[in-house]
């Protein structure tokens, strides 16, 4: 199961659908592949089922299609990218517009120390995978005022589709689907608006954000990992700094959860929730713990 499935939160008995990732034992269908990093070996189930030695096999090792570094005012528009991602860790005032990212790259960002962007209340180490990264996602990276808009991010099967860091960045009018998680946000003053988020393994928006607006998103068919203590939006034990959940349309998921459509977990404070259209939910819309 993916890394976001925490110990103690395994799928319910009888769960019919799940993703198996990072296992050579799962290599049983044509075109599937597995990398044994410790032995620098690529295993491939060829389209014809014969020996890979009978084919020309090429493997891409570069993780990023674009890495903007510290560049500013860069605009990436109208591209289709496959098997790679975009990173703008320290970039400012840059935009990604009208792209299609299919099977975006896996980026692993490790926190070696606590990260607290303005009383967010984050502590401890954390690892984040992602496909598209606008803004810093660690204490030693700082991006600002970047935007992803009018794009499709899909098939991030073992990662978050989108990792939002730094401050003042925006995610607007995107179709995000078939990912382990939709948006993971660490930072402040974000806008996550008018996105369609569906067919997601876990959360729609998760992590430690501050003074952030999440509005007018259409969210459905999520929380497919079977985690009982989870919801589309699920802050825990943190001051979200007058963040707002407003006008989001939440519908059509029925996993066996303890909570509801929206979950402000233990110790969450300074959060405004208003006007949330909802239907076809198993339990209530909002749970406050």
Which band of pLDDT confidence, cut at 50, 70 and 90, is reported for residue 141? low
pLDDT tens by residue, 160-189? 788 888 889 899 999 999 888 888 888 889
The pLDDT of residue 242? 94
One DSSP character per residue, 43-104 reads EE--TTSS-GGGS--------EEEE-TT-BS-EEES-EEES-EEEETT-BS-EEES-EEESP
63-288 belongs to which CATH class? mainly beta
Rounded to whole angstroms, the Cα distance separating 216 from 194 reads 5
pLDDT tens by residue, 216-262? 999 998 877 766 666 788 788 889 999 999 999 988 876 555 545 67
Rounded to whole angstroms, the Cα distance separating 29 from 46 reads 9
Which band of pLDDT confidence, cut at 50, 70 and 90, is reported for residue 122? very low
The pLDDT of residue 20? 64
Q: Domain locations in the chain? A: 1-8+15-59, 63-288
Q: Does residue 126 have a pLDDT over 50?
A: no
């Amino acid at each position: 199961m993916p890394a976001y499935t925490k110990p103690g939160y395994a799928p319910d008995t009888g769960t019919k659908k799940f993703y198996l990732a990072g296992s050579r034992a799962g290599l049983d269908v044509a075109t599937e592949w597995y990398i044994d990093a410790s032995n620098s070996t690529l295993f491939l189930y060829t389209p014809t089922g014969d020996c890979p030695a009978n084919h020309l096999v090429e493997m891409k090792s570069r993780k990023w299609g674009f890495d903007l570094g510290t560049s500013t005012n860069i605009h990436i528009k109208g591209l289709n990218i496959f098997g790679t991602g975009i990173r703008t860790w320290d970039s400012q005032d840059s935009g990604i517009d009208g792209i299609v990212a299919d099977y975006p790259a896996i980026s692993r960002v490790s926190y070696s120390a606590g990260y607290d962007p303005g009383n967010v209340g984050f502590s401890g180490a954390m690892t984040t995978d992602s496909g598209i990264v606008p803004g810093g996602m660690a204490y030693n990276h700082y991006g600002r005022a970047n935007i992803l808009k009018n794009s499709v991010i899909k098939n991030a099967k073992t990662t978050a589709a989108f990792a939002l860091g730094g401050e003042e960045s925006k995610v607007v009018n995107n179709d995000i689907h078939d990912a382990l998680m939709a948006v993971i946000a660490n930072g402040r003053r974000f806008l996550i608006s008018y996105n369609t988020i569906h067919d997601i393994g876990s959360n729609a928006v998760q992590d430690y954000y501050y003074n952030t607006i999440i509005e007018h998103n259409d969210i459905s068919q999520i929380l497919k990992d079977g985690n009982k203590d989870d919801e589309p939006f699920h802050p825990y034990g943190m001051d979200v700094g007058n963040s707002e959940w407003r006008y989001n349309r939440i519908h059509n998921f029925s996993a066996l959860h303890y909570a509801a459509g929206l979950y402000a977990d233990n110790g969450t404070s300074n959060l405004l929730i208003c006007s949330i259209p909802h239907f076809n939910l198993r339990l209530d819309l909002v749970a406050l713990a």
